[in-house]
């Protein structure tokens, strides 16, 4: 049992701070799961009739991604992160979840591999690392280092810095060649900063940097002082046994991180949860994640109580479609369950058409700028090829379809049917979805192949793709196989007066 678990055993509750565009819905899910909310915003306090509890530190923070608002980030003590994900956020349907218990400030034994491409590289049981602020970089040496950043979808899984780190509710302490006092950007009160600075002086003189977390801005000063002393004592104990620590072992737990990637259906579920608390328009979270005008979304929220929600949804969808039809070009944001993002485009909207396979769809066109081979088809890709993409407008369709033609569009080279969550279309010209790895390729003679099924299976086995996404992806594959003829019929809509040849 960890120290945190001991504390929870006494209190029987985890404490969370929630922020960002999903805050109201997440707060409701957490409360339903028996968790406590602290450091509550004024708006959330009013909506949920909660005490703000500004003087208490959270065990974990849950927020929308700063760089990608289609994500929910859960960061904090490992047990609290796991509880939030399993007991509350797992209720959100059709998500992909990346979890890493080796997060920022985790201290572990790293084996140095040497210099590669001008960077010091090491290895751990959790993957390769880049070691920063380490001039020696002696191959074969083993050092204690703490995690700065986690990159689960990159070759260098961890970025670490030499030295021990210890995390407490209000403060982080870490060994540093340049010990200093760092304040969270949320600690803005100069008086509080001065108080915390005075507390820290003795610690930095010992070669240890002090980073005051946002929770230190409002807790009693005595609490912050106790955290600082406990952290210092723990760091010194770890330092004493540093030489006996085996390679790869975690010697001090830092923060765990879970990144939850939201699909269109995920956000619509959160709309429903939010609607139990406050008036909420259809597509509320989709529009917010698209950075649509906040004033407009708030206005739609207010009128949602007085109109038919299905009609309001249809009106919003028409508004969004009209917005992107005015744009010169659009991009596709292709998000893999591990968090990898591929931007496809630019493409231009040729028309809105009626597809045999997808129903009403956007017809997008791009021109190939490079040569090579089309993935999964083993067909030559040439400069000037026309690449046509059909994007369904229906929320019930789990595919987009790419068709590849020669430069005259007289010869079909092949078709790639992507399996993905229903698309979201942003007024700023971004079309996005979660890719589900498995796809179907169709050659010009109508023969087909299923590709990358092993990647879907692996992602499901690792707990990244959840069961509802996994089972739905397999159903979609079967649906595509039954409708190959419809997809080939769709080739005809591209050139009504001159149907491209189906001979490769």
User: Which domains are assigned to the chain?
Assistant: 3-100 (no CATH), 107-255 (3.30.230), 279-325 (no CATH), 330-494 (2.40.380.10)
Q: Is 340 helix (H, G, I), strand (E, B) or coil?
A: coil
Rounded Cα distance between 274 and 463, Å, is 27
With beta carbons less than 8 A apart as the criterion, state whether 37 and 17 touch.
yes
So what's the pLDDT on residue 357? Answer: 96
Nearest partner of 17 among 91, 84, 79, judged by Cα: 84
Spatial separation of the C-alpha atoms in residues 335 and 3, rounded to whole Å: 37
Q: Helix, strand, or coil here: 229? A: helix
Instruction: Tell me 153's DSSP state.
Output: T
Sign, Cα dihedral of 370, 375, 380, 384: negative
With H, G, I as helix, E, B as strand and everything else as coil, classify residue 90: helix
Strands (E), 132-169: 142-150, 156-162, 165-167
Q: Nearest 10 degrees: CA dihedral of 464, 470, 476, 477?
A: 90
Residue 373's φ and ψ, nearest 5 degrees, are -135, 135
In angstroms, the CA 235 to CA 148 distance is: 17
Please report the beta strands in 327-452, taking only residues with DSSP state E, as ranges in sequence order.
Answer: 330-335, 341-355, 359-367, 372-374, 379-381, 386-392, 399-405, 412-420, 424-425, 430-443, 448-451
- Cα(251)–Cα(93) distance, rounded to whole angstroms? 36
Distance CA 235, CA 91 (A): 38
Token pair 């992160």: residue: 81
How many Å apart are CA 434 and CA 65, to the nearest integer? 16
List the beta bridge partners of residue 416: 402, 441
State the residue for tokens 């106790």.
Answer: 226
**Cα distance between residue 173 and residue 394, in whole Å:** 51
Query: Rounded to whole angstroms, how far apart are CA atoms 246 and 223?
Result: 34
Nearest in space to 403 (alpha carbons), one of 445, 364, 354 = 364
For residue 215, the 8-state DSSP code is: G
What is the predicted pLDDT for the residue at 247? Answer: 85
- Contact in structure between 86 and 80 (CB atoms under 8 Å): no
Token pair belonging to 439: 């796809």
- CA pseudo-torsion sign 43, 48, 51, 54: negative
Max distance between CA atoms of the chain, in angstroms, equals 82
Note the pLDDT of residue 152. 67
> Would you state the pLDDT for residue 38?
96
Q: Is the dihedral of CA 178, 180, 183, 188 positive or negative?
A: negative
Low-confidence stretches of the chain (pLDDT beneath 70): 1-12, 152-154, 495-504
The residues, any chain, with a CB within 8 Å of residue 355's CB and separated by 6 or more, are: 361, 390, 392, 401, 490, 493
Angstrom distance (rounded) from CA 406 to CA 387 = 9
């Amino acid at each position: 049992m960890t120290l945190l678990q001991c504390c929870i055993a006494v209190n029987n509750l985890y404490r969370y701070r929630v922020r960002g565009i999903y805050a109201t819905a997440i707060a409701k899910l957490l409360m339903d799961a028996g968790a406590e909310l602290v450091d509550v915003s004024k708006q959330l306090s009013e909506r949920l009739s909660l005490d703000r509890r500004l003087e208490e530190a959270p065990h974990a923070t849950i927020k929308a991604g700063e760089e990608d608002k289609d994500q929910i980030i859960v960061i904090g003590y490992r047990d609290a992160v796991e509880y939030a994900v399993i007991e509350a956020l797992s209720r959100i349907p059709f998500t992909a979840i990346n979890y890493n218990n080796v997060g920022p400030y985790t201290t572990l034994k790293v084996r140095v591999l040497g210099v590669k491409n001008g960077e010091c590289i090491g290895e751990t049981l959790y993957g390769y690392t880049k070691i920063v602020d380490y001039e020696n970089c002696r191959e074969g040496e083993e050092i204690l280092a703490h995690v700065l950043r986690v990159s689960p979808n990159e070759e260098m899984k961890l970025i670490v810095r030499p030295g021990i780190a210890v995390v407490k509710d209000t403060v982080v302490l870490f060994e540093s060649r340049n010990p200093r006092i760092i304040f969270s950007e949320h600690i803005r009160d100069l008086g509080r900063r001065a108080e915390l600075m005075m507390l820290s002086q003795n610690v930095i003189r010992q070669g240890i940097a002090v980073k005051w977390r946002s929770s230190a801005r409002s807790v009693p000063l005595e609490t912050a002082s106790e955290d600082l002393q406990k952290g210092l004592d723990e760091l010194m104990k770890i330092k004493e046994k540093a030489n006996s620590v085996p390679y790869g072992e975690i010697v001090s737990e830092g923060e765990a991180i879970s990144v939850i990637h939201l699909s269109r259906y995920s956000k619509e579920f959160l709309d429903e949860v939010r609607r139990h608390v406050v008036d909420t328009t259809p597509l509320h979270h989709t529009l917010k994640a698209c950075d649509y005008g906040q004033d407009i979304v708030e206005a739609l929220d207010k009128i949602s109580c007085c109109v038919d929600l299905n009609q309001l949804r249809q009106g919003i969808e028409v508004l969004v479609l009209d917005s992107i039809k005015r744009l010169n070009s659009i991009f596709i944001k292709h998000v893999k369950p591990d968090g990898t993002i591929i931007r496809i485009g630019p493409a231009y909207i040729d028309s809105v058409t009626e597809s045999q396979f997808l129903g009403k769809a956007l017809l997008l066109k791009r021109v190939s700028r490079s040569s090579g081979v089309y993935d999964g088809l083993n067909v030559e890709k040439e400069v000037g090829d026309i690449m046509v993409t059909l994007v369904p407008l229906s929320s019930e369709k789990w595919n987009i379809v790419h068709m590849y033609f020669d430069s005259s569009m007289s010869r079909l080279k092949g078709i790639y049917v992507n399996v993905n969550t229903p698309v979201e279309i942003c007024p700023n010209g971004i079309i996005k979805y979660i890719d589900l790895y498995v796809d179907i390729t169709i050659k010009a003679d109508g023969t087909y192949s299923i590709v990358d099924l092993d990647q879907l299976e692996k992602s499901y086995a690792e707990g990244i793709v959840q069961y509802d996404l996994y089972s739905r992806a397999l159903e979609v594959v079967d649906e595509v196989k039954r409708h190959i003829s419809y997809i080939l019929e769709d080739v005809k809509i591209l050139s009504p007066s001159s149907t491209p040849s189906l001979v490769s």
